[in-house]
Amino acid sequence: MLITPNTRQALVSPVRRSHKKPEKRWSQSSRCWSATRSNRKSVKMFVLIYLVIAIVSLLAYVLHRNFTYWTRRGVPHDAPHLIYGNMVGFRKDRVMHNIFIDYYNKYRKTGNPFVGFYFLHKPAAFIVDPKLAKNILIKDFSNFTDRGQFHNERDDPLTQHLFNLDGKKWKDMRQRLSPTFTSGKMKFMFPTVIKVSEEFVKVMTSQVPASQGGAVLEIKDLMARFTTDVIGNCAFGIECSTLSNPVSDFRTMGQKVFTELRHGRLLTMFQFSFPKLARRLRMRMMPEDVHQFFMRLVNDTIALREKENFKRSDFMNLLIELKQKGKVTLENGDVIEGMNIGELAAQVFVFYVAGFETSSSTMSYCLYELAQNQDIQDRLRSEVQSVLEQHEGKLTYEAIKDMRYLDQVISETLRLYTLVPHLERKALDDYTVPGHPNLVIQSGTQILIPACAYHRDEDLYPDPMTFDPERFSAEKVAARDSVEWLPFGDGPRNCIGMRFGQMQVRIGLAQLINKFRFSLCDETEIPLKYTPMSIVLGTIGGIHLRVERV
């Protein structure tokens, strides 16, 4: 068949015509699909808008309900800030201590045993009357065993330490650890602390010339290096050598716990305000590098000791023994589960963090006051040297116990410079305030006891801003209610590491006062300025003093 141009056109044309109809149908289908997709987007947008409205409404309801809590109960309180509650300036431009002291002074003479307070978004009963505080901490402790702090053992294992745990977990952990902080165990660790203190004196001596006038030193850094080495040795069995090498991961990570946040300010406030919800959302609080550092350190230390069957006179060794024991049945029939790696790491972690920061700060503030009160410093030095002579010049465990005036000086330092500003508890059941039948602290209510405010109450401590160790003579301590001095808390949930903390501070100060004299210099800042970024009482910048050899 001969294919002419016309024939070719005829053959091709039907094919072209056959493609036109599907294209038209496809175009119509595309428009329908586009319209459907547009409708779906609109629906999604409406759903999203309604969801946002629902969430905002829920948040508004929760905020309104929280911030009217004390109004509904007729309890006096200050009007809360929308974000900060009654903690305006928190971690911004106000130190927590000043927030609590100002609030306490406003209400302490109103006759109310407690007033309302909003710790960020969390309603709390602010205990104004120390007698009520004593009931909560001691007499009626069974109803206030919990603290209600954030902890997440699953996702943030370092937060499951004794300070944070509640309920049976706290009770079991306290029973496990109590035997490790007896006087006998302190003697066990005493030689390690003495060894570090002797190195401390050598470092100080190398920085202070024998000539008259000595040297101006920043003592805050030196005290922190001393306590870091003590805790590193006693908690991990590691010679950190921070005294000779100031820059160390140990010290850096310890400082980050108090000054750095894993999340921004808003999320951190959410964790403080709603700890249970934060745990359900699997939130974490510990900075990641801090978490990695301590978990790796604990795992490596345990693996090495168990492999080589290595034992040492330190806290880590005591915890490893607890881990290896597994389940323990108590005399009353209660069964305590064995300690896992995460729990062990958390206890070592809090022992280190609490021990190095609080003890170094106590020593720094103590020397700062002694520099301003030379008569007190001279009396203390006389006692230290006299006791050492009675013990053949050796700083023994018994010698430290005999230094009574040293204890008074440390106690007065802890009163005037209360490192942790408040104690927290949580009501397990409704609690009728003794002597006030119409006042009920409801179940689940957070309790806030402003220890720092009690310590500066002129009715409890006349002329409270004056440094006076005589406040803690045996006679005055016996006449004072124990709840009026709370640097370590009180009752069954007091600080379990109190003996160890006091031991290392006593040793460090005794060594320093015996060898050196501290006085003011041009660089000494009076008064001190405190950082609002730290929960514990910390200064902005260092503390400079003139140091001379005795």
In tens, the pLDDT along 283-299 reads: 999 999 999 999 998 99
Do 328 and 403 reside in the same domain of the chain? Answer: yes
Whether 345 and 157 have beta carbons less than 8 Å apart is answered as yes
Same domain membership, residue 173 and residue 321: yes
Q: Are residues 118 and 261 in the same domain?
A: no
Statement to judge: residues 169 and 280 lie in one domain = yes
**pLDDT for position 355:** 84
What's the pLDDT score for residue 80?
95
Residue 541 contacts residue 507 (beta carbons within 8 Å): no
Q: Is 489 left (phi over 0), alpha (psi -120 to 50) or beta?
A: left
Q: Which of 233-237, 398-402, 491-495 has the lowest mean pLDDT?
A: 233-237
* Beta bridge mates, 117: 124
36 occurs within a structural domain: no
For residue 322, being part of any structural domain is answered with yes
Count of domains forming the chain: 2
Q: Which of 26-35, 89-98, 121-130 has the lowest mean pLDDT?
A: 26-35
User: Contacts from 274-278 at CB under 8 Å and sequence distance 24+?
Assistant: 274/121, 274/122, 275/148, 275/149, 275/150, 275/151, 278/150, 278/152
pLDDT, position 30: 60
CB 269 within 8 Å of CB 120: yes
pLDDT surpassing 50 at residue 179: yes
The 8-class DSSP code of residue 527 comes to S
End residue of a domain, out of 460, 486, 512:
486
Cβ contacts of 492 within 8 Å, gap of 6 or more: 138, 141, 145, 174
Mean pLDDT, range 244-261, rounded to an integer:
79
- Beta-bridged to residue 335, according to DSSP, are 329
DSSP H or E segment with residue 33 = helix 5-67
Q: Are residues 348 and 375 in the same domain?
A: yes
- Binding residue positions for heme: 495
Locate 485 and state its tokens: 């001095």
Question: Over the range 519-547, which residues count as b (16 or more CB within 10 Å of their CB) and which as e?
Answer: eebeebeeebebebebbbbbbeeebbbbb
* Peptide bond preceding 434 in cis form (omega within 30 of 0): no
- Pairing type for strands 423-426 and 215-218 reads unpaired
Domain limits for position 475: 47-139+425-486
Question: Would residue 21 count as lying in a domain?
Answer: no
In contact, 113 and 433? CB cutoff 8 Å:
yes
Between the alpha carbon of residue 288 and those of residues 152, 278, 378, 424, the distances in Å are 14, 17, 47, 26
356 pLDDT higher than 60: yes
Query: What whole-number distance in Å separates Cα of residue 137 and Cα of residue 422?
Result: 13
Distance in angstroms (rounded) separating the CA atoms of residues 436 and 115: 13
Q: What pLDDT sits at residue 436?
A: 95
- Residue owning tokens 């034992």: 311
Cβ atoms of 69 and 116 within 8 Å: the answer is: yes
Residue 15 lies in a domain: no
Contact (CB, 8 A) for 205 and 331: no
Coil, helix or strand for 461? coil
Neighbours of 71 (CB within 10 A): 12
Question: Which of the two residues, 518 and 15, has the higher pLDDT score?
Answer: 518
Residue with tokens 């005399």, as numbered in its chain: 331
pLDDT at 324: 82
Residue 451 sits in the same domain as residue 507: no
Residue 56 pLDDT level (bands cut at 50, 70, 90): confident
Tokens of 400: 């430290």
Identify whether residues 292 and 322 lie together within a single domain: yes
Q: Which of 126, 113, 125, 118 is nearest to 65 (CA)?
A: 118
Sorting pLDDT into bands at 50, 70 and 90, what band is 2?
very low
- Tokens standing for 12? 């091709």
Percent of the chain with pLDDT over 70: 92
Contact status, residue 97 vs residue 413, Cβ threshold 8 Å: no
List all residues 6 or more positions away from 99 whose beta carbon is below 8 Å from its beta carbon.
Answer: 86, 87, 88, 89, 90
Q: Are 226 and 197 in contact (CB under 8 A)?
A: yes
**pLDDT value of residue 337:** 73
CATH of the domain at 259: 1.10.630.10
Looking at the fold, whether 221 and 181 belong to one and the same domain comes out as yes
Mean pLDDT of the chain: 89
Mean pLDDT of 84-96: 93
| Torsion angles phi and psi, residue 349, rounded to 5 | -60, -50
- What would the mean pLDDT of 220-246 be, rounded to a whole number? 86
> Residue 248: inside a domain, yes or no?
yes
- The answer on 474 and 460 residing in a single domain is yes
Q: Of 467, 486, 505, which residue sits at a domain end?
A: 486
For the whole model, what pTM was predicted? 0.87
Identify the sign of the CA torsion 176, 179, 182, 186: negative
Separation of alpha carbons 31 and 25, rounded Å: 10
122-127 and 446-449: which strand pairing? parallel
Q: What average pLDDT score do residues 478-501 get?
A: 95
* The pair of three-digit structure tokens given for residue 85, joined into one six-digit string: 């509650």
Do the beta carbons of residue 264 and residue 135 sit within 8 Å?
no
| pLDDT at site 4 | 47
| 202 found inside a domain | yes
Task: Tell whether 193 and 266 lie within a shared domain.
Answer: yes
Residues 532 and 467 in one domain: no
In a domain, 51, yes or no: yes
3 state DSSP class of 432: strand
Task: pLDDT band for 166, please (50, 70, 90 cuts).
Answer: very high
- Termini Cα distance of the chain: 127
Known binding residues:
495
Does the residue 492 lie in any domain?
Answer: yes
Task: Using the 3D structure, point to which of 462, 486, 510 is the last residue of a domain.
Answer: 486
